[in-house]
Structure 1
Amino acid sequence: MNVKDLINAGLFKPNEEEPSNSSFEISVFLPGFKKEVKVVACNLVSLDLTEQMSYVAETVNSIISFGAKDYVWLKEVIWKHYESCISNISYAMVDSEGGDNEIDANRKYFNISSPSEAFSLASLEVIWFDVSFLGVDYFNLHFSCPWETEHGVMIGISEGKLDYYE
């Protein structure tokens, strides 16, 4: 996808109070996820800045090519997030009566027993990146998930590899 295609298909959202905090949104089909996802370029000053828009195009193309080959480690990361959440969160809707402990009650409530199951229940909602980091191949995947409905799972991708998750 080139800059012209992006501008034609996306939406620039100017921030009148702080122009350097404007953004650009585009929905793109991600073959690896088999779905259309909103991609947001944050801190975009203007569509007229060639360097910034070239960076947006490069990053969007990197996002589009990110895909199925990455599912093995993505599944593991989402599984680790799930395991961490059920080990550290007291869910109000989970009845811990009769269980051995709260973690077992959480595990029984969510009934997720593998990385593949956790991954299948996590839904990629938005991908965003910061244009002020020109030249850095970095973006963030934000998934919604049933075990962390307030924040979901955020996964930072640098150079096509895991940087962090929370």
Structure 2
Amino acid sequence: MAAVWASISLRSSTDQRLRARVDMAFVALEERAREAFEKLRDDIDRLYPTSGPFDPATAFQDPAELGQAAKKGVATLRMRSGIQARFRRMLAVCSWIRNGAFAVATLVGAATALYFLAFDIKPLWGIAAGMAVVAFGASLVGIFLFAWLESAIQRAVEASNAGGAP
């Protein structure tokens, strides 16, 4: 019953707790990506200047240093686009956990009542008990998914504060 009670407000409390942080992280990651790509553009301009006559010595410069800046910008953009999608999935998982908690409580109650009231009909209370186990397993999957999504969102929030994707 404690799980049912806690799951009732899980979605709204998660939304209130994380909404502002996710929105701020989205904007900050967008800014970090823009900064990374501006730096990349400046590095390209520095490495391969477009003004003046052609200099064969600059044509053979190694562009390897540009790869890290490009990868950082792309990783930051991926993190930015993923944070809001993960947040929406997390809210959906909150509903899944709530529904699972109600299903488990209802099915355990039904299986217990059938066990005591209709013990002669073993398949009936056995099916109810089996369904309770399946609902419990699905709820556990939801809890693990919730924890994974929360850690992914937290990593993105931390990256937005630290200056970009790791």
> TM-score of the superposition, structure 1-length normalised?
0.27
> TM-score of the superposition, structure 2-length normalised?
0.27
Which of the pair has more CA radius of gyration? 2
Q: Structure 1 or 2: larger helix share?
A: 2
**Higher relative contact order at CA 8 Å, sep ≥6: structure 1 or structure 2?**
2
Q: Structure 1 or 2: larger strand share?
A: 1
